[in-house]
Structure 1
Amino acid sequence: MEPASSFLTLESLHFPSAEQSISQTLSALRRSALSVANRLQSIEADAAFAQEVAEYYDLPLVANERCGSWYIPPTTKVGSAYFKSTDGHTGQWDFSFRRLNLQLLPLAKKYGGCVIVDSTRRGKLMPDALSKTIPIWCAVLNRALFPSETDYHEVHLPPNYLGRSEEAQIEARIDGFVTSLKRADRVPYTGGLGESRLLPPSDLEKGSGYCLFVLCSASRRVHGAEMSEGGYIQGAGDDSEAWAHGLTPPVFWANQALLKQTSEEGLPRLIEELVAQYQRETSVQSASLISPTKNLYISITGETESNRYDLVIDCHGDPVASEGSDKRLNLGLASGKLGSRDLRKALDKVRDFVSTRLGATDPSQSLLVTCETGKDLSAGTLLAIICLFYDEQGEFDVSQSNRSIGKQYIRQRLAWIVSSKHDVNPSRSTLQSVNAFLM
C-alpha cells in the first residue's frame, strides 16, 4: 500500500484549459454587465431618482460636470457646476480658483437654492465632490460674503461620514481659503444673495432667508459586482470617454427611444451617426466674453464664425496660413501636454501681435482666442494677454506690460476667465508655461 502522502488530492489536480475557460467566461460576463445598454438603462433609473429629489425640495437641477449631466434631461437642467473630487481628497482639501462656480450664486438667489447632481462608481457612497468639495466651497463663500454672520460659518459635512480628525483638518483650512479668495478680488456678488446664506442648518425651512443646496448622489450604492445587480451599474455615467463611443448627454436624451431599440453591436455605429448630426446642427456657437474686459473672447476652434471678430488667435492653426495677416495669428500648437509646453515659446508672438494690433491701432477691437477645447490653451493665452495688457477695470493699457507680475496677480486674472466661462480648465502644464513666461 502506498504512503498516504502519495494519494491524489483535489488540491493537486490542475486543469489549465478549464481555468482559462472559466476566466474567459467571467471576463465576458463582466463585459456584458457593463454594456452600453446597461449603462444607459442605469442612467435613466438614476435620473428618475434625481428628479424625485428635485420635486421633493421644489428646487431645480444643476449638474456637477461632467458626470452629472447624464442624469438630468436638458429640458430640466438649469445650470452646471464644476466641483472636482480631487479638491476633496483626503489630505488635499482645497478651494479651487480654477473652479470658482460663482455662476451658482445668482441662480441660488433666483430659485432659493438648487439640487446639485453627481455620482460615483461602485465602492463609494458618494463622490468626494459632494461630501467635501462643495461643503468647503459653501463655508468659504459664507464667510467671505457674510463675515459678520458667524453662526453660519460652519462647514456642513455629511453627518457620521468622515472621521473627526478629517473634519477638524478641513475646518482648519477654511479661513486660509477665505483670505486667498479676498486677495484674488473676486467676490463680485457681495450682497447679491440679499439676506441669503449658502448652506443653512438642516432644521431651517426653505424660504426663511437661506439658499438650500441639496447634494444628490444619483446612483444607488452597489456592494457586490455588477453581475449580481441585474444589469444595474452604479455611477454609470462616470468616465464616459471609456465607454460611450462619443455619445454625450444631450444626444442621449434626445434619442433615448432609438438607442433603446438598437442592439449592443449596432450602438457604436448609431452613436457615431447621431453625434455627427448633432454637431452639424450646433456647429456655430457664440464665443464667451471675458469680463470685465469689453473685447476679449474665447471659444472652441471652428465653432464660431471668426469673421465676426476684428482679431483672431488660433492656438492650433497652421502658422504659415496666417503669415502676413494683420487680423489673424495661428500658433500651430500641438494638442494636450505637448501644446501646453510649447505655449511658453509662442507667447512672445502673442505679446507682439496684441501690442501691435491693439496697442498701436484701436484698443477697442474685438479679439477672439480659440483652441480645440475652448478650455485649456486658449485660456492660457488669454491669461497672458490679460496680465500683460489689461488694468484692474478690464481696460486695455499697454503700460501694464512693464509692471512686475507675481503668482497672486496671475491668480486674480485667471479668476476673470473662470468667472466668465465656467467650464474653462487650463491644465497645470498650461499654467506653468504662462507663469514661466510672465515671471
Structure 2
Amino acid sequence: MTAQPDSGPIGLRQVVALCGELSSLATTDCDLEQVVALVAERAGVWATVVDDSLAPLVKSPSPPGSVGTPAHRLTNVLESDTQTVAQLVAAASSMRRALSLPASGASAASLVVAPVLVGDDAVAYLVTAGHDVDETGEDARIMVTEHAAMVCAVVLGRRRIVALAAGRARRELFDGLVLVGDRTEADVDGWAQHLGIDPGGRHRVLVVALYPGTGKPAPAAIDMVEHMLATRCPAAIVVNRGSEVVALVPGDDDTELTRQLTALARLCREAVAVRFPDVRSIAGLGDAHPGAARISASYGEARRAVDIGRLMAGLSDVIVFAELGVHRLFAQVRNPRELGGYARDVLGELIDHDQKNGTEYCGTLAAYFGENGSLRRASALMHTHPNTVAYRVHRAEEITGLDLSSYSDRLAVQVALEIVNGLGGNP
C-alpha cells in the first residue's frame, strides 16, 4: 500500500533502506518522476523538483482530500511566499548542500531543499515538505532529500549529455541558416527543415543576451534561460549560442503573440536578476518574416534591438524592434556621449533647472508631445490642470530660448527628449 505523505517521519533504519533503493534506482534508466514518487511514498513526504524560477519540473501526486496536508501547504508556500523559498534555494545552491526551513506553526509543514548538482552547476532543486517532530526526524529527511537529489543529478546529467549533442547540432544549423553568406534558397530551406522549421511559414526571432560584469556569462545562467524558453514556448526552436539564447518562433506579427513573447522574455530577465545579480540581460524581439530565407532578417532585427537596449539603458527591459521608432537611428551612434551631448545642447538649461529646483518641465514637455500637443490629455496624464501644463510649456520656452511653434525647434526638442528617456534621464 502506498504511504500517504502525512504518515509521519521515518527512522534511521528506513533512511538507510531508502537511500539504498535510490542508489539502485540510479543504475537503471529511471526518470525524475520515479525518484520523486519513491521519496514521497517511502519517506511520507510531498516532493517536487523545481527549476531556478521555482517552476515544477515534476512533483509527487497530491492524495485525495489534501487540503491542509504538506502537499497543500507546500503548494501554497511556492505560490504565495516565493521570496522565502527563492532565498532558501539560493542559499542551498551557494552552500551546495541541503537546507531546511522549519515549520512556522504547529500545523504547518517544514521544507527541505537540496540542490541537484550536475558538474559545477545547480541545475534544479529537490524540495520536500513534511512534519518533523524532533531534530532526528529533520536530520533523516535532510539525508533522504540530499541523497535523492544526487540521483536526480544522475538523471539530469544523462539528459544534459544528450542535450549538449543536440544543442551543438542546432547551433550549427542555426548559424548556417542566418549567418553564412552566399546561400542558395535550397540550402536555406534544407537547414530550416533539419531544424524542424517550415520553410514556407512566417517566423520571428527572440534573443535574450547576457552581459556579465566581468568575464563570460555563467553557463548556468545561459542554461536557465534556454530551459525557460524551451519549456514555456514549446512551439519555438531554442538555440544556445554561448552568450545569448535564440528562440525561432512561428507566427505572424499579431499583438497577442508579441505580448506573450515580451512577457516570457521579461520572466527570463527577472529570473537572471534574482539568481545571477552580476549579470545584465537584454531581450530583443524581431519582426515576423515569411520564408526561411527571411529568418536572418528577423534575427538581425532582434540583435539590433538588443544593441539598442545595451546602448540606451532607459528603454524598456524587452526591446521590440517594430516599436523602436526613432531609436533605431540612435543606435547608429555608437558613442552615447554624442547622443548625450546633443540632448544637452538642446535641453541642458532645462534639465539643470529641473534638477536644481525640483521642477518638472522636461517631464511636462514629454507628456505634452506624447499626447500630440493636447493640454487636456497631458494634464490628465500628469494629474494636474491644463492651465498648469500650458504654463510649464511656456516657461520651458523661456528657459531654453526655443520656440515650440517652430517646426525645427519642436523637432529638436522631441528628439532630445527621446535621447534623455533612452539614456535613463541622465545625458
TM-score for the superposition, normalised by structure 2: 0.25
Which structure's residues are more often strand, by fraction?
2
Q: Report the structure number with the largest CA radius of gyration.
A: 2
Which structure's residues are more often helix, by fraction?
2
TM-score for the superposition, normalised by structure 1: 0.25
